Amino acid sequence: MKWTTERRYRRYEDWTEEEIKQLKEKNAQSPWHTSYHVEPATGLLNDPNGFSCFDGKWVVFYQNFPFGAAHGLKSWVQLESDDLVHFTETGVKVLPDTPLDSHGAYSGSAMQFGDQLFLFYTGNVRDENWIRHPYQIGALMDKTGKIEKIDKVLIDQPVDSTDHFRDPQIFNFKGQYYAIVGGQDLEKKGFVRLYKAMENDYTNWQAVGDLDFANDRTAYMMECPNLVFVGEQPVLLYCPQGLDKSVLDYDNIYPNMYKIGASFNPENAKMVDVSQLQNMDYGFEAYATQGFNAPDGRALAVSWLGLPDVSYPSDSFEHQGTFSLVKELTIQDGKLYQYPVKAIENLRASEQVFGNQEKTSNTYELELKLEANSQTEIVLLADKEGKGLSINFDLVNGQVTVDRSQAGEQYAQEFGSTRSCPIEVKATTANIFIDKSVFEIFINKGEKVFSGRVFPHTDQNGILIKSGNPTGTYYELDYGRKTN
């Protein structure tokens, strides 16, 4: 069935029970469902939205098109957690059901005010000529999950922006609420605009100006900007679409980048002493990362392990996209570290010395030690012939390379099937999480990260040490209960 515009934007109530039943049956047949990574109940999952703490629980929503593996009429689907590892769908959704979000409840953020969670998001509206009107709008969710939409536009499309203006993130800086929104100016260059909540009223926003983060102005759009604070230091996480590769090289269709500032000056919308641009993730997928500062001050982040405008092997089972693990962000020696929250260790069900294995469940964590000046290649998701996901730690030349060209079904090959990043040649650790069709590799406890999807064949479930002498531990991971 072709995904025509009409089919993508068909109203939710027009999908028949029979169609949904068939969709669920197809979905259930997929060999690539994850065990401990959030994935959609059905259809497509993209950006994390509304990541927050509410009523003593962690809350995050996912952008969802529920009727198949396509980008169509989007809604938010809520998940709850008490440990940032186990997430459960609550049934609460933000549906595209008003004139201000008729063509999609697009991405946004959340913040608790009193007894309610304020959801700040983009209402995507298309008029009869299919012209887009992006409205930054809000909704209030109470403790029972009842959602009431605020019946007015909170931030209008600025006169100096095209219709690409979206993804508001609300944040608190020293007791004052601010928001940033990503956009595209009339010269088709991306920008991030800072707004201030007048008298701290989240329905009354005034522009402060364009966030000054030493924008190189090569990207045509900034999607999903997030400002989080690690101590005093602002970290801007964002997705500069079309970023010129001479500014910073990347392989994925669109990159997820960051910059760190020494401090933040909201009066003139400035990130002071801003760092060089850096790639958040060296793998094949990690996009639309959403970060927020938890009540205890920690900067937490979660990414979409998927990319826009890419088809996936799981599409044939009508599901696409997962979340990354929840990562804590820290800064060490001026560098951003991203590492899964401590509670992930609770999934470790049994352990053994790391070594070759003919058959695993493909749900494990490896904690490896690599000696200085050593060269090591391991193959995960390996079949009998040793074909699988190859990870090469070259601590002679200072490079880690991940090669998925032999790991099951291939896709997005026009963007290459290997990814590399430079590392220092000293002794190194690698924590590698494998979950059926997801891998996340954290070098030196999060100094460098490679995330991505793989769609292994059914016989690809071994571990092979091809060269070198890596030592460490294999932990079988047991989620206990499934996400959905």
| Residues within the interface to ligand FRU (CB under 6 A) | 46-47, 63, 74, 106-107, 122, 166-167, 223-224, 288, 308
Question: What single-letter amino acid sits at 351?
Answer: E
Angle at 443 between CA 292 and CA 364, to 5 degrees: 85
Q: Do 320 and 68 touch, CB atoms closer than 8 A?
A: no
Q: Taking the complex as a whole, how short is the minimal distance between the CB of residue 160 and ligand FRU, in angstroms? A: 19
- By CB atoms closer than 10 A (0-12, 13-18, 19+), residue 270 is buried
Left (φ > 0), alpha (ψ -120 to 50) or beta: where does 218 sit?
A: alpha
Q: Fill in the DSSP letter of residue 357.
A: B
Identify any residues that bridge with 393 across adjacent strands, giving them in sequence order.
376, 400
Look up residue 411 and give its two tokens: 């896709």
Q: Which is nearer to ligand FRU, 48 or 388 (CB)?
A: 48
47 flagged as catalytic: yes
Q: Which is nearer to ligand FRU, 180 or 378 (CB)?
A: 180
Look up residue 56 and give its two tokens: 């003593």
Q: Taking the complex as a whole, how short is the minimal distance between the CB of residue 66 and ligand FRU, in angstroms? A: 13
Q: Taking the complex as a whole, how short is the minimal distance between the CB of residue 64 and ligand FRU, in angstroms? A: 9
Q: Which is nearer to ligand FRU, 158 or 308 (CB)?
A: 308
Contacts of 453 (CB under 8 A, 6+ apart): 284, 285, 305, 306, 312, 322, 437, 438, 439
Q: Which is nearer to ligand FRU, 253 or 465 (CB)?
A: 253
Q: Do 137 and 109 touch, CB atoms closer than 8 A?
A: no
Q: Taking the complex as a whole, how short is the minimal distance between the CB of residue 417 and ligand FRU, in angstroms? A: 23
Q: Which is nearer to ligand FRU, 48 or 446 (CB)?
A: 48
Q: Taking the complex as a whole, how short is the minimal distance between the CB of residue 49 and ligand FRU, in angstroms? A: 8
Look up residue 412 and give its two tokens: 């997005």
Candidate list 47, 383, 403, 435, residue with the active-site label:
47
Identify any residues that bridge with 138 across adjacent strands, giving them in sequence order.
120
Look up residue 3 and give its two tokens: 């995904």
Q: Taking the complex as a whole, how short is the minimal distance between the CB of residue 13 and ligand FRU, in angstroms? A: 20
Q: Which is nearer to ligand FRU, 183 or 446 (CB)?
A: 183
CA proximity to 301, closest of 266, 325, 333, 334 = 325
Look up residue 101 and give its two tokens: 């979000």
3-class secondary-structure state, position 5: helix
State the catalytic residues: 47
